[in-house]
Amino acid sequence: MSVIILDTTLRDGEQTPGVSLSVEQKLMIAEALDNLGVDIIEAGTAIASEGEFKAIKAISEAGLKAEICSFGRIKKEDIDAAADAGADSIFMVAPSSDIHINSKFPGKTREDIIQMSIEMVEYAKERGLIVEFGGEDASRADFEFIKKLLKAGEEAGADRLTFTDTVGVLTPERAQQIMSELKKVVKKPVAFHGHDDFGLATANTIFAVKGGADEIHCCVNGLGERAGNAALEEVVMALEYLYGIKTKINKKAIYPTSKLVEKLTRVVVPPNKPIVGENAFTHESGIHTSAVLRDAKTYEPISPEVIGRSRSIVLGKHAGKASVEAIMKELGYKATKEQMQEILKRVKEIGDKGKRVTDADVRAIIETVLQIKRERKVELVDLNVVSGANIMPTASVKLKINGKEYVEAGVGVGPVDAAINAIKRAVKEYADIELVSYHVDAITGGTDALVDVIVQLKKGDKIVTARGARTDIIMASVEAFVEGLNMLL
């Protein structure tokens, strides 16, 4: 058994509050989704804006393998926009609950909605579109009406029929039952579209497949309106590994795609997010780490390499000897038993103070205990930042890299961003450095507070964390960035 996946990251996902993608960004994500192996890419809503229309047109003309779909209402202008944009298909929804019918089409009856749907499905087919037809807010509608509505859509020529849990109120058991009953009513493929308002989108989607759903709608990273849609990575991995149900997804592309979507949407993936969260394959506890280093299966349900990522061992207050040994080996250092104990003691002291132990902290402790003097490849010689109400934040930086001085300038949305961009330009000859995450805490109160900045930097597959602490947030940020550079270069 194999299930079809419609990815709605570029439509429902972009409806996440605060997310707005350019045409170029949508095309980048569409290409990544195509490489990921999704069957259908819902690229947006062609009628929504000129930008949406251009994005769908660009994606439709990109020569991708996936079917390109536009979202639409049961209105001619929506269908015309989808067809004119060159989309292969339209996912067209009609209001199906009395709540939606009364608010969107005041004075219209259920029979009116059925008749309008029939006419619009027929029109969409005349425009040469593949039609996926669904009832919006179906989970709060009269189920007998839903069956009648979808059957009418099928008879009008719809190619696929969709049940939408628009506000995420279904339970897994009910999702399975609904799909099972719909499969007896219509002959065309049936799809399920679930939202996560009660945290059940993944479970509901899986149970919909158990009930016979031929197609499921998902979003990368669980993006979507309000609490989001069913997360593609969770649904796919659960279906394949726990239920033995195959998809066409290229699993090694899951993590890279997740990171691209995170970067372009600027919606940070929670560290404890299943599959793609930074902590999903990270181990700190001494007991766990010791076991994982002997046999990864002890505390990992799947290998991180399966989804295109790697395992991470970090040190903190729960660390043990095995963790220290693993990191020492990675750094190429050796220590006596007494030195190991001292390193572990110092690491735990930082953790006990409630601080996050960064990679830079660990390295500094190890080198201090082993009395190793490491030559710093990157040194900050000078930094100047200009910012104001009517001035584009600009920074100039002078760095000494391997003894040679480099001077660069950069602009940004703020003074910190400008300073970091200037540094990235200065080191571009050596490496393409990516700022993965940036976190700042005020340690004391007042405008002269000491700030603690922690950054995550990435070079290729390697990610490091580093800290900077100053009363000046710009200098603290630069200090952390330069410390991370010294570990990466």
CATH of the domain at 304: 1.10.238
CATH number, domain of 477, equals: 3.30.160.270
Same domain, 137 and 25: yes
Same domain, 67 and 177: yes
Range of the domain at 287: 282-369
Same domain, 315 and 244: no
**pLDDT of 294 higher than 70:** no
Residue 375: DSSP 8-state: P
Report the pLDDT value the prediction gives residue 289, as an integer from 0 to 100.
53
Distance CA 204, CA 231 (A): 11
User: Among candidates 455, 448, 444, 451, which has minimal Cα distance to 482?
Assistant: 455
Please give the mean pLDDT across all residues of the chain: 90
Q: Which helix (H) or strand (E) holds 379?
A: strand 378-388
Same domain, 93 and 157: yes
Cα 313 from chain centroid (whole Å): 22
Q: pTM, whole model, 2 decimals?
A: 0.79
What is the domain count for the chain? Answer: 3
Kindly report, residue by residue over 66-102, the tens digit of the pLDDT: 999 999 999 999 999 999 999 999 999 999 999 999 9
The tally of CA atoms less than 13 A away on the side-chain side of residue 278 is 13
Cα 107 from chain centroid (whole Å): 41
Same domain, 223 and 326: no
Kindly report, residue by residue over 144-159, the tens digit of the pLDDT: 999 999 999 999 999 9
Report the pLDDT value the prediction gives residue 290, as an integer from 0 to 100.
58
Same domain, 34 and 71: yes
Task: Give domain status of residue 277, yes or no.
Answer: no
CATH number, domain of 241, equals: 3.20.20.70
Domain boundary among 317, 338, 369: 369
Same domain, 42 and 90: yes
Q: What are phi and psi of 132, to 5 degrees?
A: -110, 120
Q: Encoding tokens for residue 379? A: 């040194």
Task: Give domain status of residue 273, yes or no.
Answer: no
Domain boundary among 265, 292, 326: 265
327: left (phi over 0), alpha (psi -120 to 50) or beta: alpha
Task: Give domain status of residue 108, yes or no.
Answer: yes
Q: Encoding tokens for residue 94? A: 């009609």
Instruction: Cite the DSSP H helix spans in 243-384.
Output: 254-265, 286-294, 321-331, 337-352, 359-369
Sole residue written with tokens 């100053």: 470
Same domain, 256 and 309: no
Cα 72 from chain centroid (whole Å): 25
